[in-house]
Amino acid sequence: MTVLKELSKGLFRENPVFVLMLGLCPTLAVSTSLANGLGMGITTTFVLVSSNLIISVTRKIFPHRIRIPCFIVIIATFVVIVERILSAYLPELNRQLGIFIPLIVVNCIILGRAEAFASRNSVIKSAADGLGMGLGFTIALLIISVIREALGSGKISGVDISTGFEPMTLMILPPGAFFTIGFILALKGLRKKKQKA
Protein backbone atom coordinates (compact mmCIF):
# COMPACT_ATOMS: atom_id res chain seq x y z
CA MET A 1 0.00 0.00 0.00
CA THR A 2 2.83 2.44 0.81
CA VAL A 3 4.39 1.84 -2.63
CA LEU A 4 1.09 2.78 -4.28
CA LYS A 5 0.89 5.84 -2.03
CA GLU A 6 4.41 6.92 -3.04
CA LEU A 7 3.54 6.40 -6.69
CA SER A 8 0.29 8.34 -6.59
CA LYS A 9 1.49 11.34 -4.57
CA GLY A 10 3.54 12.66 -7.50
CA LEU A 11 0.53 12.49 -9.76
CA PHE A 12 -1.86 14.53 -7.64
CA ARG A 13 -1.13 15.61 -4.07
CA GLU A 14 2.51 16.58 -4.71
CA ASN A 15 2.54 17.13 -8.48
CA PRO A 16 5.93 18.74 -9.18
CA VAL A 17 4.58 21.48 -11.47
CA PHE A 18 1.03 22.21 -10.29
CA VAL A 19 1.53 21.76 -6.52
CA LEU A 20 5.23 22.01 -5.64
CA MET A 21 5.98 24.51 -8.43
CA LEU A 22 9.26 22.74 -9.28
CA GLY A 23 10.83 22.22 -12.68
CA LEU A 24 9.22 25.33 -14.13
CA CYS A 25 12.20 26.30 -16.29
CA PRO A 26 11.97 23.25 -18.60
CA THR A 27 8.19 23.29 -18.30
CA LEU A 28 7.97 26.83 -19.63
CA ALA A 29 10.64 26.33 -22.27
CA VAL A 30 9.80 23.00 -23.91
CA SER A 31 6.02 22.86 -23.65
CA THR A 32 5.48 24.39 -27.10
CA SER A 33 4.45 21.07 -28.63
CA LEU A 34 3.12 17.70 -27.53
CA ALA A 35 6.23 15.90 -28.85
CA ASN A 36 8.56 18.15 -26.86
CA GLY A 37 6.50 17.81 -23.68
CA LEU A 38 6.36 14.03 -23.98
CA GLY A 39 10.07 13.79 -24.78
CA MET A 40 11.07 15.94 -21.83
CA GLY A 41 8.70 14.08 -19.52
CA ILE A 42 9.99 10.65 -20.49
CA THR A 43 13.65 11.65 -20.23
CA THR A 44 13.12 13.28 -16.84
CA THR A 45 11.16 10.25 -15.59
CA PHE A 46 13.97 7.91 -16.68
CA VAL A 47 16.58 10.02 -14.87
CA LEU A 48 14.36 10.33 -11.77
CA VAL A 49 13.67 6.61 -11.43
CA SER A 50 17.25 5.55 -12.24
CA SER A 51 18.95 8.06 -9.98
CA ASN A 52 16.51 7.40 -7.12
CA LEU A 53 17.28 3.68 -7.36
CA ILE A 54 21.06 4.13 -7.29
CA ILE A 55 20.97 6.81 -4.60
CA SER A 56 18.77 4.62 -2.41
CA VAL A 57 21.10 1.64 -2.85
CA THR A 58 24.24 3.67 -2.11
CA ARG A 59 22.84 6.09 0.48
CA LYS A 60 24.86 4.65 3.38
CA ILE A 61 28.14 4.62 1.44
CA PHE A 62 28.51 8.38 0.93
CA PRO A 63 29.67 10.59 3.81
CA HIS A 64 26.95 13.05 4.78
CA ARG A 65 29.07 16.11 3.94
CA ILE A 66 29.62 15.13 0.30
CA ARG A 67 26.29 13.50 -0.48
CA ILE A 68 25.02 16.30 -2.79
CA PRO A 69 28.07 16.18 -5.13
CA CYS A 70 27.76 12.39 -5.18
CA PHE A 71 24.06 12.67 -6.06
CA ILE A 72 24.91 15.08 -8.89
CA VAL A 73 27.46 12.64 -10.33
CA ILE A 74 24.87 9.84 -10.28
CA ILE A 75 22.22 12.06 -11.88
CA ALA A 76 24.69 13.35 -14.48
CA THR A 77 25.54 9.79 -15.47
CA PHE A 78 21.91 9.06 -16.33
CA VAL A 79 21.51 12.40 -18.11
CA VAL A 80 24.49 11.57 -20.33
CA ILE A 81 22.93 8.17 -21.11
CA VAL A 82 19.63 9.87 -22.07
CA GLU A 83 21.40 12.50 -24.14
CA ARG A 84 23.39 9.87 -26.07
CA ILE A 85 20.26 7.81 -26.75
CA LEU A 86 18.38 10.88 -28.01
CA SER A 87 21.34 11.93 -30.17
CA ALA A 88 21.52 8.49 -31.75
CA TYR A 89 17.85 7.63 -32.19
CA LEU A 90 15.83 10.87 -31.96
CA PRO A 91 18.14 13.63 -33.21
CA GLU A 92 15.28 16.04 -34.04
CA LEU A 93 13.80 15.76 -30.55
CA ASN A 94 17.29 16.15 -29.09
CA ARG A 95 17.72 19.35 -31.12
CA GLN A 96 14.31 20.65 -30.03
CA LEU A 97 14.95 20.02 -26.34
CA GLY A 98 18.47 21.43 -26.67
CA ILE A 99 20.11 22.64 -23.49
CA PHE A 100 17.23 21.46 -21.32
CA ILE A 101 18.39 17.83 -21.50
CA PRO A 102 21.82 18.56 -19.91
CA LEU A 103 20.08 20.86 -17.41
CA ILE A 104 18.17 17.85 -16.03
CA VAL A 105 21.31 17.35 -13.91
CA VAL A 106 20.39 20.36 -11.76
CA ASN A 107 16.61 20.10 -12.10
CA CYS A 108 15.21 20.83 -8.66
CA ILE A 109 12.69 17.98 -8.94
CA ILE A 110 15.46 15.42 -9.32
CA LEU A 111 17.84 16.90 -6.75
CA GLY A 112 14.95 17.43 -4.35
CA ARG A 113 13.75 13.84 -4.62
CA ALA A 114 17.31 12.55 -4.24
CA GLU A 115 17.89 14.55 -1.06
CA ALA A 116 14.44 14.45 0.49
CA PHE A 117 13.39 10.93 -0.41
CA ALA A 118 15.83 8.50 -2.08
CA SER A 119 18.62 9.18 0.42
CA ARG A 120 16.29 8.23 3.28
CA ASN A 121 14.10 5.40 1.95
CA SER A 122 14.20 1.88 0.57
CA VAL A 123 14.87 1.02 -3.06
CA ILE A 124 11.25 0.07 -3.83
CA LYS A 125 9.81 3.22 -2.26
CA SER A 126 12.43 5.37 -3.97
CA ALA A 127 11.67 3.84 -7.37
CA ALA A 128 7.93 4.37 -6.80
CA ASP A 129 8.56 7.96 -5.73
CA GLY A 130 10.69 8.62 -8.82
CA LEU A 131 8.12 7.06 -11.12
CA GLY A 132 5.24 8.96 -9.52
CA MET A 133 7.03 12.30 -9.64
CA GLY A 134 8.19 11.64 -13.20
CA LEU A 135 4.70 10.71 -14.36
CA GLY A 136 3.27 13.76 -12.58
CA PHE A 137 5.82 15.97 -14.33
CA THR A 138 5.05 14.31 -17.68
CA ILE A 139 1.29 14.73 -17.25
CA ALA A 140 1.75 18.40 -16.35
CA LEU A 141 3.96 18.91 -19.42
CA LEU A 142 1.43 17.15 -21.66
CA ILE A 143 -1.48 19.26 -20.41
CA ILE A 144 0.45 22.50 -20.85
CA SER A 145 1.85 21.41 -24.23
CA VAL A 146 -1.54 20.44 -25.68
CA ILE A 147 -3.10 23.75 -24.63
CA ARG A 148 -0.19 25.82 -25.94
CA GLU A 149 0.17 23.93 -29.22
CA ALA A 150 -3.57 23.89 -29.91
CA LEU A 151 -4.10 27.58 -29.18
CA GLY A 152 -0.76 28.76 -30.56
CA SER A 153 -0.49 26.87 -33.83
CA GLY A 154 -3.97 25.41 -34.33
CA LYS A 155 -2.46 21.91 -34.43
CA ILE A 156 -1.81 19.01 -32.12
CA SER A 157 1.04 16.78 -33.25
CA GLY A 158 0.68 18.09 -36.80
CA VAL A 159 -3.10 17.51 -36.97
CA ASP A 160 -4.90 20.73 -37.89
CA ILE A 161 -7.66 21.61 -35.41
CA SER A 162 -7.96 25.30 -36.21
CA THR A 163 -11.45 25.18 -37.73
CA GLY A 164 -13.44 28.03 -36.24
CA PHE A 165 -10.64 30.01 -34.61
CA GLU A 166 -7.49 31.90 -35.49
CA PRO A 167 -4.37 30.51 -33.75
CA MET A 168 -2.74 32.89 -31.26
CA THR A 169 1.01 32.87 -31.86
CA LEU A 170 1.50 34.35 -28.40
CA MET A 171 0.63 30.95 -26.88
CA ILE A 172 3.71 29.23 -28.34
CA LEU A 173 5.94 32.10 -27.22
CA PRO A 174 7.31 32.30 -23.62
CA PRO A 175 4.44 34.46 -22.29
CA GLY A 176 2.01 31.76 -23.46
CA ALA A 177 3.59 29.32 -21.02
CA PHE A 178 3.04 31.73 -18.12
CA PHE A 179 -0.56 32.37 -19.18
CA THR A 180 -1.25 28.64 -19.48
CA ILE A 181 0.22 27.71 -16.10
CA GLY A 182 -1.48 30.70 -14.46
CA PHE A 183 -4.84 29.71 -15.95
CA ILE A 184 -4.46 26.08 -14.82
CA LEU A 185 -3.47 27.14 -11.29
CA ALA A 186 -6.41 29.58 -11.15
CA LEU A 187 -8.82 26.78 -12.14
CA LYS A 188 -7.23 24.53 -9.53
CA GLY A 189 -7.65 27.25 -6.90
CA LEU A 190 -11.31 27.79 -7.80
CA ARG A 191 -11.98 24.07 -7.58
CA LYS A 192 -10.31 23.89 -4.18
CA LYS A 193 -12.31 26.90 -2.97
CA LYS A 194 -15.59 25.27 -4.11
CA GLN A 195 -14.66 22.03 -2.34
CA LYS A 196 -14.08 23.91 0.93
CA ALA A 197 -17.43 25.74 0.60
Q: What is the pLDDT tens value at each position of the chain, 197 positions in all?
A: 588 888 888 888 889 998 888 888 889 899 999 999 999 999 999 999 999 999 999 999 989 899 999 999 999 999 999 999 999 999 999 999 999 999 999 888 999 999 999 999 999 999 999 999 999 999 999 999 999 999 998 888 888 887 778 889 999 998 999 999 999 999 989 988 988 87
What are the sequence ranges of the domains in the chain? Answer: 2-196
Segment 25-28 long-range contacts (CB within 8 Å, at least 24 positions apart):
25/100, 25/103, 26/100, 26/103, 26/104, 26/107, 27/137, 27/140, 27/141, 27/144, 27/177, 27/181, 28/174, 28/177, 28/178, 28/181
Q: What is the pTM of this model?
A: 0.91
